[in-house]
């Protein structure tokens, strides 16, 4: 109950907790929702192990590559580095939106392996939005760390095998890839902060207020049912232009026209669970 008050008192989710319909007396959202409890119980020891391995490998590779980036820095790269960082952030924001849209809109928890491991957290999040604030660092960031391991490993291998002249020419590209990797890795942590209304460090609140990372008020737009807009959750910079373009609606109409599948049908199924 505390987590529900946390959201509602600070202008967060506005779904009513009043019982309605066949599930009268059942919580409509939050940790007591029947679907939320079932989804939370699907978090397995194997999944936990995968997250631990991903976090350790990701941050080890990130530290290794940072050392080599600093060692190969040249002042002549300054502007291309800044451009690469901005491009990396924008790419991460779009990637977060695309993955978020895909997992929210399509697929099912019942899919073999992939469903319970990767679709499940998205279903849980819509019916218990504050669950993410109760996840520790490993559970919050494990999957995003996994996504960056291969490109970071490839970068590390190239630093070890390429000549200084070759590294000089591809250095701006690696700055872009490194910024992209950092913001992809941190996306779910930033997302967690956007649901946390008490106890955030001042520097996090400052970054949110400056819209350098996803602001709390901005992300509330996505959490208005049926959760069909504002999918970008790294910085949220691309949400407004993509919404104005109707980008996600166009993709949904295209896929539905080809496959006949209805967007967010599995999401709705879990939201309607009452026992």
Per-residue pLDDT reduced to its tens digit, 190-227: 999 999 988 999 999 999 999 999 999 999 999 988 88
Average pLDDT over residues 29-39: 61
For position 11, what pLDDT does the model report? 39
d(CA 271, CA 198): 27
Q: What percent of the chain has pLDDT over 70?
A: 83
Query: Which has more pLDDT, 275 or 204?
Result: 204
Task: Spell out the residues 6+ positions from residue 132 whose beta carbon is closer than 8 angstroms to its own.
Answer: 125, 140, 188, 191, 192, 195
Query: Which has more pLDDT, 120 or 253?
Result: 253
For position 114, what pLDDT does the model report? 79
- For 185-197, the DSSP string reads HHHHHHHHHHT--
For position 10, what pLDDT does the model report? 40
Query: Which has more pLDDT, 76 or 12?
Result: 76
d(CA 166, CA 156): 14
Q: What percent of the chain has pLDDT over 90?
A: 65
Cα torsion at 98, 230, 29, 110 (round to 10°)? -20
For position 157, what pLDDT does the model report? 98
Per-residue pLDDT reduced to its tens digit, 148-197: 999 999 999 999 999 999 999 999 999 999 999 999 999 999 999 999 98
Average pLDDT over residues 55-63: 98
For position 48, what pLDDT does the model report? 92
Structural domain boundaries in the chain: 34-272
For position 162, what pLDDT does the model report? 97
Query: Which has more pLDDT, 18 or 124?
Result: 124
Q: What is the chain's mean pLDDT, rounded?
A: 86
Closest of 66, 99, 65 to residue 191, by C-alpha? 99
Over its C-alpha atoms, the chain yields an Rg (Å, rounded) of: 20
Per-residue pLDDT reduced to its tens digit, 67-92: 999 999 999 999 999 999 999 999 99
Average pLDDT over residues 2-21: 38
Q: Is the pLDDT of residue 2 over 60?
A: no
Q: Is the pLDDT of residue 65 over 80?
A: yes
User: Are 255 and 233 within 8 A, CB to CB?
Assistant: no
For position 109, what pLDDT does the model report? 85
């Amino acid at each position: 109950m505390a987590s529900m008050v946390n959201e509602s008192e600070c202008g967060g989710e506005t779904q009513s907790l009043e019982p309605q319909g066949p599930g009268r007396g059942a919580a409509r959202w939050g940790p007591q929702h029947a679907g939320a409890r079932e989804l939370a119980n699907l978090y397995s020891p194997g999944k936990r192990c995968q997250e631990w391995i991903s976090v350790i490998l990701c941050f080890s590779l990130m530290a290794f590559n940072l050392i080599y980036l600093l060692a190969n820095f040249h002042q002549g790269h300054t502007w291309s580095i800044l451009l690469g960082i901005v491009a990396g952030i924008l790419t991460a924001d779009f990637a977060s939106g695309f993955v978020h849209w895909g997992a929210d809109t399509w697929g099912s928890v019942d899919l073999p392996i992939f469903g319970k491991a990767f679709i499940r957290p998205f279903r849980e999040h819509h019916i218990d939005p504050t669950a993410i604030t109760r996840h520790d660092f490993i559970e919050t960031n494990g999957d995003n760390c996994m996504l960056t391991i291969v490109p970071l490993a490839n970068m590390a291998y190239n630093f070890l095998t390429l000549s200084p002249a070759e590294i000089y020419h591809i250095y701006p590209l690696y700055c872009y890839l490194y910024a992209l990797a950092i913001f992809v890795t941190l996306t779910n942590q930033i997302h967690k902060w956007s649901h946390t209304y008490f106890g955030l460090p001042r520097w996090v609140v400052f970054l949110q207020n400056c819209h350098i990372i996803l602001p709390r008020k901005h992300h509330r737009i996505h959490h208005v049912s049926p959760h069909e807009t504002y999918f970008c959750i790294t910085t949220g910079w691309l949400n407004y232009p993509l919404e104005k373009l109707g980008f996600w609606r166009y993709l949904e109409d295209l896929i539905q026209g080809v496959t006949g599948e209805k967007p967010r049908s599995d999401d709705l199924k879990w939201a309607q669970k009452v026992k």
